[in-house]
Structure 1
Amino acid sequence: MEDVVVVGSGPNGLAAAVTLARVGLSVTVLEALPTAGGGARTLDLDLAPGLTYDVCSAVHPMAWASPFFRAFDLPAHGVELVTPEISYAQPLPDGRAGIAYRDLERTADRLGVDGGAWRSLLGPLAARWEAVVAVGMSDKRSLPRGVSDVGGLLGAAQFGAAMLEQGTGAWSARFRTEEAAALLTGVAAHTIAPMPSLGAAGTALLLGALGHAVPDGAGTSPDGATSAGFDGGWPIPRGGSGAIAAALVADLEAHGGTVITDHPVRVCTDLPSAHVYLFDTPASTLLDVIGDALFPTCRRALSRFPAGNAAAKVDLVLDGPVPWADPEVARAGTVHVGGTRAEMAWAEAAVAAGDHAAAPVCLVSDPSVADPSREVGGLRPVWAYTHVPAGSTRDVTDVVVDQLERFAPGVRDAVVASRCTPAAELAGHNPNLVDGDIAGGRTSLWRMIARPTAAANPYRQAGHVYLCSASTPPGPGVHGMSGWHAARRAAYEVFGIRIPAI
């Protein structure tokens, strides 16, 4: 009998597995697909010879900022995080653009009359990024380690005050230019939620601060050792996101753990015997597999946990760089395509109402900007998501290309091949993405706390059964923290093993 069985090999499942294997427990990870990694996989989609694509996540600010990954130390495990000089960009009509350089002062200078407003909002958060991350990545049940001193408490207070400003109707008071307002709104749109809202604002401020943050040192490893520093910004793993999953799998195996692929878990009889089970799956999957064994209160809470809105994926092959109207946008690792703040708010409101926006918000990344090895034979793999209602079956290729054409005239002529994965089909590439919900549930502020339930322990769902996916705090993103929080609780509650805080 195994000590631990983890269902699902996404970043959270692997983080849980690594954490428990490192304290001497026997661990087996079961993965339904032929390859491990979940939302951190890089595959050849047969669109062009030699080109590989990140099937879900592509850009990873949390790969260096997450307490788990800082402790794990990805660079020490062979993962090279390549950080572009421009963290993200927001093209606007008439060839304008908001540009978020890693350098805060350079960003402020370009924003002109809004430079001081940008600096005063994001500067303190970037300076105290560890406190902001500690709050954002906590289990929402305990005082995070990073806010236990005066500086940390000040950073947490500044983060909260900024959320109240940018998550309410007051968001229109700070900025006078479309460049600054849209630049922050594009980051908020990662939540696929109505704007302004507190949940969207929290995401925008956390990720926006990391875009300018300058980390200075070491973390503490999952087993108590120290680790090296990181470069900050919004990096791209050289070779693709799959490098992160590969590093986690290798570490798990080095500590005696095993990953078994092509092993879907649909019913409880698909599970081998173990002392504890951790599910890196949607809440609905846990209900389907062992619903009758769950605590009644947990079963009711899981059944009521609301799904989030959705994304559809479009993978493009281009025969050159995206011809952005503002050439500076071409240097960004991530581009938020949606126009002005008002246009993006309208588009997200339409999706929340169950409609397809005429001009939806798109997230676009050309990894070759930071990692030239991704370009093969003059062809570049361009990754794009666009926001759609949950369960949408619509092929959004033309909509995405039309949006790109608005801000990059001529891009349509550069498209050599394309492939759309509608929201309704994303689960075929990652079973966790039911109906295209890439966030693992609704991302309102309340549902980032009561995720999937307001219980004191949101991870434990039955005696020895834990949920450790994006459907638990701190929520979506490649950060491993949901897996670490759940693993730490399981280690103590089932095995009596205390894992130090990180």
Structure 2
Amino acid sequence: MVDAVVVGSGPNGLAAALVLASAGLRVQVHEAAPTTGGGTRTEELTLPGFRHDVCSAVHPMALASPFFRAFDLAAHGVQLRQPEIPYAHPLDGGRAVLAWRDLDRTAEGLGPDGAAWRSLLGPLVRRWSQVVDTAMSDLRRLPRDPFAALLLGLRTLEQGTPAAAARFRGTEAAALLAGVAAHAIAPPRRLAPAGAGLLLATLGHAVGWPVPAGGSQAITDAMVARLEQLGGRVVTGDRIDDLAQLPPARAVLLDVSPAGLLRIAGDRLPAGYVRQLRSFRYGGAACKVDFALAGPVPWADPACARAGTLHLVGSAAEARTAEHAVVRGRHAQRPYVLAVQPGVVDPSRAPAGKQVLWTYAHVPNGSPRDVSDQIVAQVERFAPGFRDLILATHVVPAAQAGGHNPNYVGGDISGGAVTPWQLVMRPTARWDPYRTPLPGVYLCSASTPPGPAVHGMSGLHAAGRALRHRFGVRTDPLALLRAAR
């Protein structure tokens, strides 16, 4: 007998399960894959001894999100290691723009735009926890710190509109910010990606962009271990195609996409709700390529060897061009490439002297194309000689991404298009986006607010609703987590 069932063991599903278990409920998690974690897994994808993160690799939200601040990964044995340079943006000519943890040091490297960078991000960095609390809320209530919300809102309005052109005089600061904003797989100079970019840039200076020692699987393993300590149970290799497969429970939380909800419960849902789920828009996608390398990447700018994350696209104009191509359903000739070199701080990822390189390129949703040649060309552009170091590759085109995580519909790793409407009204236009029309059934995936990233907050918000509605527990979910720690 169980009180609550969770389908999906990604970070949001596990977060929901932990909140429910912290309230003293009997919880069971069902996972279709043979291993837990969803997008937060680590495997030997290329050669023996080379450990690659299957999806997420860099985790600022593991330090910043309210869920993980309450859960405290360090207390559960997870080492989050900090690259000296959170992210770098190589440019042609053998130079790169560097985002250091220190805001002032970063500004000093931006020349005439240093003061503009400092004035843009400084107020956000000083109030980073309040800014994160606003961004990670359910987007339904007044913010606890209206001033922090106003700071983020006004800067998003500037950077997401043509007004952004007036901020920087040169090209380097603009490129640095555009590279971060493009994480949203959308043109940087739009509201939603601009807000995401400002939040990520703020966290780079406030908490860093760490990588977990041993890989992202360490985060999942810590969450599963704590869940089991609280009496929860995880069943792997158990694909749920119908709610009838689940054991009787007072609450069911689904860490699935809208398409997954339709597959599992479509015949039980009201026609109007089904229409809204079918109209949900999925966004641009990623073709992921992992490399096993004979040695470190030979960056033209040696400082890039100290960066955990690199944005490989060139100028801000090139980033906008590449992302606009994806939105229009085309492959960019020079795509935006996100690269992570975890070996900068974690030598356990590869045999001695070797390295792994994690990359993906943005492509149209559903693309079957292997763009590894374009990714290699973009890395080689900023690191001549890279091609000669490749020992093996592992490629997952966007169209195949759903094979290891059904939530990545068409290769959309964000759980839905990142637009202002779809961040707030996600996945449907309802005041309670987590509660479905089925009694006791909730959605807790990245297709609900606050959206993508490994933060656990969609799971926390959904679990809080389930506790109130189904069990009469009105305690703050974060307080439950802290009390059970």
* Cα offset, 1:143, TM superposition: 2.5
Partner of 1:243: 218
Deviation for aligned residue 1:299: 2.3
Distance in 1 separating the partners of 2:170 and 2:297: 25
Distance 1:380 1:390 in 2: 30
Matches within 5 A, 1:75-90: 75-90=74-89
Which of 467, 492, 498 is the matching residue for 2:443?
467
Amino acid at match of 1:163: T
Amino acid at match of 1:270: Q
| Contact 1:392–1:435 under 8 Å retained in 2 | yes
Q: Count matched residues.
A: 477
Is 1:323 paired with 2:298? Answer: yes
* 1:142 Cα deviation after fit: 1.2
Deviations 1:426-463 (A, max 9, x none): 11121211210100001011110011122110000121
* Contact 1:195 1:349 (C-alpha < 8 Å) held by counterparts: no
CA distance in 1, matches of 2:271, 2:140: 21
Aligned residue type for 1:500 = D
SS of the counterpart of 2:418? coil
Equivalents in 2 of 1:137, 1:144: separation in Å?
10
Match of 1:26 in 2: 26
1:165 matched to 2:158? The reply is yes
Unpaired runs of 5+ residues, structure 1, are: 148-152, 214-231
User: Do the aligned residues in 1 keep the contact of 2:311 with 2:337 (CA within 8 Å)?
Assistant: yes
SS of 1:417's equivalent in the other structure is strand
Task: Please give the alpha-carbon distance, in whole angstroms, between the structure 1 residues aligned to 2:43 and 2:190.
Answer: 35
Q: 1:144 to 1:499 in 2, by over 3 A?
A: farther
Quick check: 1:74 aligned with 2:73? Answer: yes
Q: Distance in 2 between matches of 1:201 and 1:25?
A: 40
Paired position in structure 2 for 1:219: none
Q: Aligned runs of 1:52-131 on 2, under 5 Å?
A: 52-131=51-130
Q: Is the 8 A contact 2:132 2:199 kept in 1?
A: yes
Q: 1:334 aligns with which of 305, 309, 313?
A: 309
Deviation sequence 1:224-244 (CA, Å, 0-9, x none): xxxxxxxx2100011100000
Cα drift, residue 300 of structure 1: 2.4
Give the deviation of 1:175 after TM superposition: 1.0
3-state secondary structure, aligned to 1:17? helix
| C-alpha displacement of 1:96 | 2.1
Secondary structure of the corresponding residue to residue 392 of structure 2: strand
Displacement of 1:320: 1.2
**Contact 2:338–2:361 (Cα < 8 Å) also in 1:** yes
Aligned equivalent of 2:197: 204
Q: Paired residue for 2:468?
A: 492
d(CA) in 1 for partners of 2:190, 2:134: 18
TM-score by length of 2: 0.97
1:2-17 equivalences under 5 Å are 2-17=2-17
Q: Say which is worse superposed, 314-323 or 478-487, in terms of deviation.
A: 314-323
Greater Cα offset, 288-297 or 238-247: 288-297
Query: How many angstroms does 1:194 deviate by?
Result: 2.3
2:417 is the counterpart of 1:442: yes
Identity of aligned residues (%): 58
Secondary structure at the counterpart of residue 99 of structure 1: strand
Q: Partner of 1:460: helix, strand, or coil?
A: coil
Q: Secondary structure at the match of 2:329?
A: coil
Match of 1:480 among 433, 453, 456: 456
Q: Is the 8 A contact 1:90 1:183 kept in 2?
A: yes
| CA–CA separation in structure 2 for the residues paired with 1:422 and 1:185 | 24
Conserved? CA contact 1:96–1:179, under 8 Å? no
Counterpart AA for 1:234: W
Partner of 1:456: 431
SS at match of 2:93: helix
Letter in 1 for 2:263: D
Indicate the residue corresponding to 1:399 in structure 2. 374
Kept in 2, the 8 Å contact 1:313–1:385? The answer is yes
Q: Calculate the TM-score normalised by the size of structure 1.
A: 0.93
